[in-house]
Structure 1
Amino acid sequence: MSIQNVMSIIKEKGIEFVDFRFVDLSGKAHHITVPASEVSEETFEVGVAFDGSSIPGFRGIEESDMVMMPDTASVFVDPFTAHATLNVMCNIFTPEGERYDRDPRGIAQKAEEYLQTTGVGTAAFFAPESEFFIFDDVRYESGQQGSFYEVDSEEAAWNTGRKEEGGNLGFKIRNKGGYVPVQPVDKQQDIRSEIVRLLVESGLRVERHHHEVATAGQGEINFRFDALTKTADNLLKYKYIVHNTAQQYGKVATFMPKPLFGDNGSGMHVHQSIFDGDTPLFYEKGAYANLSETAMYYIGGILHHAPALIALTNPSTNSFKRLVPGYEAPVNLVFSKGNRSAAVRIPVAAVTPKGCRIEFRTPDSTANPYLAFAAMLLAGLDGIQNKIDPRKLGYGPLDKNIYELSDAEKKEIRSVPASLEEALDALEADHDFLLKGDVFSKSFIENYLDFKRSEAKQVAIRVHPHEYSLYFDC
């Protein structure tokens, strides 16, 4: 979309404000709002200034001036503001006009540019399945004298005996009993439908929505695949609309991987493929799961680099509360067709040549999508370039329920890191594949490791409430 087209939208839709947005290292959006009367074509050409030193993990106070450069292809009308507002995603530049090497969106764009220089293909397509919970009440505290969290939901299994409903209406969802029930068990049909309506209005193609496996309001909405950076933009838009629609209904949404103990967590399974023009490169009729050798090598790169990748695709301490056996968590570094207990699954139901893809099931929505998608693409490309064959390295295919294997069989399967600290150590030891094409810089990796190790330490040094259960009477 041209700058002139954006200016026409501002005029035709009576836009009062333009919201300029960017994302930080964690993938959280930040914004500066400018009255539409102050926005001109020049605004899109010179950008909007902001203070980079106030964003964790960005710049020091001595070099704080930074510039947001708007991307006109990303605009959409905000469905939640009282005053008509146009939202636009931005890339981050230095005052000297250079790309900022810690800008996650810029890194995603560099990954797409690098793909085109490799000769492998022209475009990488991604489609995340980002799960979430919608709760009725959330409370938590972490202080010197105590800590707790408590969530509640009208759907929750623990509320079968609750009296506060003015007569308990029943139809609660049992643990692990929430996969696609109809109303009145599924009490969030209308909320999800409203989310879908707003997503479609904002420009996304939504394929379906449904209740997910866990009790207490777990849901999933699938939107159509797109190119790498565009999909990351769409995921930011998706989370924004989910969060704000839930709030309008007097509820609260979270993409936290494991907000509940003892039931399924929320993942972000990422479907991905590479095309050369209109030609899908992952399809070969008659091969295992109809996968080409190119796709096999891509899988090899993903699984070979998975311990390091997970520092970017599962970058929270809470991520590793989900990555435990027994809750459909893909902790095993193998690939399989149709098998949801494998880290890499190849969908085989109703798949066309252009729909042939691989699904990396390990990631979750604490990931910054620009960084995670870029890293996955680079790992897959490294597999293609170096012909990393997962079949020869013991990564499968394994078309069995891995959780039902014997202990001896399980010992032969490599697992994901057990903690964020382990994943960060793996990234420190294995990140050369991320430096190709100058997509990620060495300084970015070093800064990211420091940033995330600080988060891990904050959790590690705090007293956990369950420690009182275990040790108070020692």
Structure 2
Amino acid sequence: MKKLTKWLEENKITEIECITPDQTGIARGKIMPTDKFIDEKGIRLPESVLLQTTTGDYPDDETYYSLLDPQDIDMVLRPDDSAVFTVPWAAEPSAQIIHDCYDSMGNLMELSSRAVLKKVLALYEAKGWKPIVAPEVEFYLTKRCTDPDLPLVPPIGRSGRQESGRQSFSIDAANEFDPIIEDIYDWCEEMHLDIDTLIHEEGAAQLEFNFRHGEALKLADQVFIFKRAVREAALKHKIGATFMAKPISGEPGSSMHVHQSLTDAKTGKNIFSNEDGSASELFHSYIGGLQHYIPQMMPIFAPNVNSYRRYLPGADGNAPVNIEWGNENRTVGLRVPQAAPSARRVENRLPGSDTNPYLSLAGNLICGYLGMVNHLKPRMPIQGRASEEADETVPWNLEAALEAMSNSEDIRNALGANFVDGFVATRRAEYEGFRRVISSWERQYLLSTV
């Protein structure tokens, strides 16, 4: 706390946002003056925050009371002094500090997504392994729209025109949004977020920011904060920004591809490569783990009803519908980029940008870990284009995905039965809310024809 107090004083911070990610990845917490924060050395929140859905609802009472104290008691949030960031968009000098959640006995809360990632990383640490990851985060800029029944459209760019057509990797198309991009870069630099390259993706006003490779918890924190920064930058420029997986019909979805490799914790060498530069047995087992366990982990990589709209055939989907692997092959779900042996890695192209970054990284890493400790073998790599037919071993809708995850003993043992039950319950609660809504498609095609 001394280190953190010194930083707050040096930066003349007057206000603190004490935040923790819930299961959806929403920042929950309290805002308080710096003096009060220093005196209290943490905050308290109801444990139920960790079972809250995107809509503010909760799972059914039976699940709720089986996972939480029926008295709705508080948990204790303690600040992590390695997860401290300024708030560049605030009017006064402010800080946002990520907190870990503890129960009344001083244990990390099993339902906390940050705790789940820490649990997975502890498994790697016990083996002397250190995961290295690099997320790629896509999102859309849109014209501001307050009516949820209206479709989203691209914002007006610097030229005074709306973008149309596909503009993959276009520098000029990206430069249309220079004012907001400059704010994002400036704010990320102030917050010391390790963003690297920017590209214009396929969709109209769709952008992608890549993060430099690094430690998993650090990168999860950074993606969590990055999403807040992008939304705030959009608000400043009176437009919208969305990380929804498929926000616009007829346009590609938004993903969060995750590059992942593994080093020896002592030597720093990439243990996905042998001394002669060839791929190691651990590398193949890691891929085997991804292929075996992704079908049971899909609610982590595609947590919302909308998430599954990315997995459509042809250009309208623009996301892999398989869990094959191949070298330098973008038609497979698990791509191995061309790289030197020291940088050998695998890229999971299935997760959407709507995922909770802590859970997405934990999900990838636990799949790979289980593959390595169980010595799983991958399928043969794909040469040429992968089939556009959906892999039948993968659940491509939320109902089936939740069933697969809930019934997986391996995943329950690895991530914790309470976490799995709580996570599945929040997804099901959201799905039940979705089923109660009549869509515009139903009104357009069924209202006067059936």
- Relative to the length of structure 1, the TM-score reads 0.85
| Displacement of 1:186 | 4.6
Q: How does 1:209-248 map to 2 (within 5 A)?
A: 209-215=198-204, 217-248=205-236
* Structure 1 SS opposite 2:92: coil
1:67 equivalent in alignment to 2:76 = yes
- Aligned positions, number: 431
| Displacement of 1:416 | 3.2
Q: Which residue of 2 aligns with 1:460?
A: 435
Q: Tell me, yes or no, if the aligned pair for 1:155 and 1:185 is still in contact at 8 Å.
A: no
The C-alpha deviation readout for 1:345-395, integer Å capped at 9, x for no partner, is 0111xx23332210000001222221221122111111111111113xxxx
Separation of aligned partners in 1, 2:186 and 2:273: 33
Mark the CA change 1:155 to 1:358 in structure 2 (over 3 Å): closer, same or farther.
farther
Alpha-carbon RMSD: 2.3
Q: Which residue of 2 aligns with 1:442?
A: 417
Q: Tell me, yes or no, if the aligned pair for 2:75 and 2:103 is still in contact at 8 Å.
A: yes
Q: How does 1:390-469 map to 2 (within 5 A)?
A: 390-391=378-379, 396-403=380-387, 410=389, 413-414=391-392, 416-436=394-414, 440-469=415-444
Mark the CA change 1:155 to 1:83 in structure 2 (over 3 Å): closer, same or farther.
closer
Separation of aligned partners in 2, 1:270 and 1:18: 31
Q: Tell me, yes or no, if the aligned pair for 2:154 and 2:163 is still in contact at 8 Å.
A: no
| Displacement of 1:237 | 1.0
| Displacement of 1:470 | 2.6
Separation of aligned partners in 2, 1:5 and 1:390: 46
| Displacement of 1:434 | 4.7
* Structure 1 SS opposite 2:197: strand
Q: Tell me, yes or no, if the aligned pair for 2:45 and 2:74 is still in contact at 8 Å.
A: yes
Equivalent residue letter for 1:9: W
Separation of aligned partners in 1, 2:354 and 2:162: 31
Separation of aligned partners in 2, 1:377 and 1:184: 35
1:194 equivalent in alignment to 2:222 = no
* Structure 2 SS opposite 1:129: strand
Separation of aligned partners in 1, 2:194 and 2:112: 27
1:264 equivalent in alignment to 2:286 = no
1:39 equivalent in alignment to 2:37 = yes
| Displacement of 1:98 | 2.1
Q: Which residue of 1 aligns with 2:143?
A: 136
Separation of aligned partners in 2, 1:453 and 1:50: 24
Q: Which residue of 2 aligns with 1:9?
A: 7
Q: Which residue of 2 aligns with 1:145?
A: none
Equivalent residue letter for 2:154: S
Mark the CA change 1:13 to 1:319 in structure 2 (over 3 Å): closer, same or farther.
same
Equivalent residue letter for 1:110: K
- Relative to the length of structure 2, the TM-score reads 0.90
Mark the CA change 1:414 to 1:54 in structure 2 (over 3 Å): closer, same or farther.
closer
Mark the CA change 1:184 to 1:106 in structure 2 (over 3 Å): closer, same or farther.
closer
Q: Which has the higher contact order (CA 8 A, sep 6+)?
A: 2
Q: Which residue of 2 aligns with 1:49?
A: 44
| Displacement of 1:284 | 3.9
Q: Tell me, yes or no, if the aligned pair for 1:265 and 1:322 is still in contact at 8 Å.
A: yes
Q: Which residue of 2 aligns with 1:343?
A: 333
Name the stretch that deviates more: 314-323 or 382-391: 382-391
The sequence identity of aligned pairs, in percent, is 26
The C-alpha deviation readout for 1:199-254, integer Å capped at 9, x for no partner, is 12111222111211111x10011121221211110110110111101111111110
Q: Which residue of 2 aligns with 1:144?
A: none
Unaligned runs of 5+ in 2: 53-57, 59-63
Separation of aligned partners in 2, 1:222 and 1:185: 15
1:320 equivalent in alignment to 2:318 = no
Separation of aligned partners in 1, 2:18 and 2:371: 37
The C-alpha deviation readout for 1:54-81, integer Å capped at 9, x for no partner, is 5515845613211101100111111111
Unaligned runs of 5+ in 1: 142-147, 157-164, 405-409
* Structure 2 SS opposite 1:449: helix
| Displacement of 1:96 | 2.7
